[in-house]
Amino acid sequence: MKFLLLTLITHTDPAKPAARRLREVVDTAVLAEEVGFDGFAVGERHERPFISSAPPVVLSHIAARTSRIELWTGVTTLSLLDPVRAFEDYSTLDNLSGGRLTLIIGKGNGAAQAQLFHVTTDDQWDRNREGYELFRRLWREPKVTWSGRFRPSLVEAETWPRPLQQPITVWHGSATSRESVDLAAEFGDPLFSANVTNPIEPYAALVDHYRERWAFHGHDPAGARVGAGSAGFYVARTSQEAVDTYRPIFSARLATFRRLGVEPVFPTLEDAIERSSILVGSPQQLIDKIHRYHERLGHEVMHLHADADGLTDKQHRTALELFQSEVAPAVRPLEGR
């Protein structure tokens, strides 16, 4: 199993300049490579409290500061982007990074999409599908003739630079809807389950649906690939230390939900540890939980939260080092199914 760190680059401290917050993300990616993580993922959002509107720019900076770690998006919101422009950005990044790029695509979410991009819930799935179909062809074909609903047509169009990887691996990010699942299965692409907000059951049901549709489209069942997220992360030598350290972070998250009028699915930290994908506890507790989730999802890649949140720099680094020294070796042998 591979392990990624993922950030949506939240920016909630008005006293901290955006420049400093962005540098923190790059520094965390450098740390992730140093301690042994396989990849670092940057999401894409276009509204407060996030400043992750330009993943290829952030990932390019990370590429320049690292040499080995895989560079992931989490997700690239193709429903909002011109596929030609997205291709140019990510093909350039693929070349600059020496072929370390992997994409997770999705429709995105948030109220700002309609205001900034005129993309609504009525057309976001159609835009995501059309954008991916064109992006896929642009990556594979030196000249493309194409027409669709949401952007001008192309006639023998050439796009530059040509990518280093041929083809690139594109995962489809899935939260609670079947559209991304169906698109991934149709094209024979891997599926990345968000696995964050709810208990495991709805996510497992979508993974089961993905495997069913994969077979329906005639793909070899052994080729289906699944990734999964996690709802939070902190590992310490003892369970009590982990819970005591993480409790203020979890309480602040609950307060944010309630301030926004959202009733939390998991009202206490203990409930979240028991029923959600949150990874908080001792090394053995995390090992046991990853095994339990793997039995149901059969995933081969997992992401952990990259951000320190309310942790000190020392606590954050120690947790990442402890995960790599004691948790990862025990679960890396797990494979997809």
How many CB atoms neighbour CB 47 within 10 A?
13
Which secondary structure element, helix H or strand E, spans residue 273, and what is its range? helix 269-275
* pLDDT score, position 167: 94
Q: What is the pTM of this model?
A: 0.97
Q: pLDDT of 321-333, one tens digit each?
A: 999 999 999 999 9
Kindly tell me if the per-residue pLDDT of 337 is higher than 90: no
Average pLDDT over the chain, rounded to whole? 97
Distance separating alpha carbons of residues 49 and 54, to the nearest angstrom: 14
Kindly tell me if the per-residue pLDDT of 261 is higher than 90: no
Q: pLDDT of 11-54, one tens digit each?
A: 999 999 999 999 999 999 999 999 999 999 999 999 999 999 99
* pLDDT score, position 109: 82
Binned at pLDDT 50, 70 and 90, residue 311 comes out as very high
* pLDDT score, position 102: 98
Binned at pLDDT 50, 70 and 90, residue 256 comes out as confident
The one-letter amino acid code at 270 reads: E
b/e string for 90-101 if b means 16 or more Cβ within 10 A? bbbbbbbbeebb
Distance separating alpha carbons of residues 34 and 151, to the nearest angstrom: 42
- Token code pair at residue 7: 């950030």
| Domains in the chain: ranges and CATH | 2-331 (3.20.20.30)
The DSSP letter of residue 122 is: T
